[in-house]
Amino acid sequence: MTLNNIGPTQSATFAGGCFWCTESDFKKVAGVTAVVSGYTGGSQPNPRYEDVCRGNTGHYEAVQVHYDPAQISYGELLEIFWRSIDPTDDGGQFVDRGPQYRTAIFYANDEEKQLAEASKRALEASGRFTTQLATAIRPLAVFYPAEEHHQDYYRKAPLHYRSYRKNSGRDQFIKRF
Q: Which sequence positions are flagged as catalytic? A: 18
Helical packing angle, 19-27 and 74-83, nearest 10°: 130
Using DSSP, state whether 19 is helix, strand or coil. helix
Distance CA 58, CA 136 (A): 13
Under a CB-based contact definition with an 8 Å cutoff, are residues 39 and 61 in contact?
Answer: yes
Report the first-to-last Cα separation within the chain, whole angstroms.
Answer: 35
Q: What is the DSSP string of 119-162?
A: HHHHHHHHTS-SS----EEEE----EEPPGGGTTHHHHSHHHHH
Contacts of residue 129, defined as CB under 8 A and 6 or more positions apart, other chains included, come to 87, 88, 123, 177
Under a CB-based contact definition with an 8 Å cutoff, are residues 17 and 101 in contact?
Answer: yes
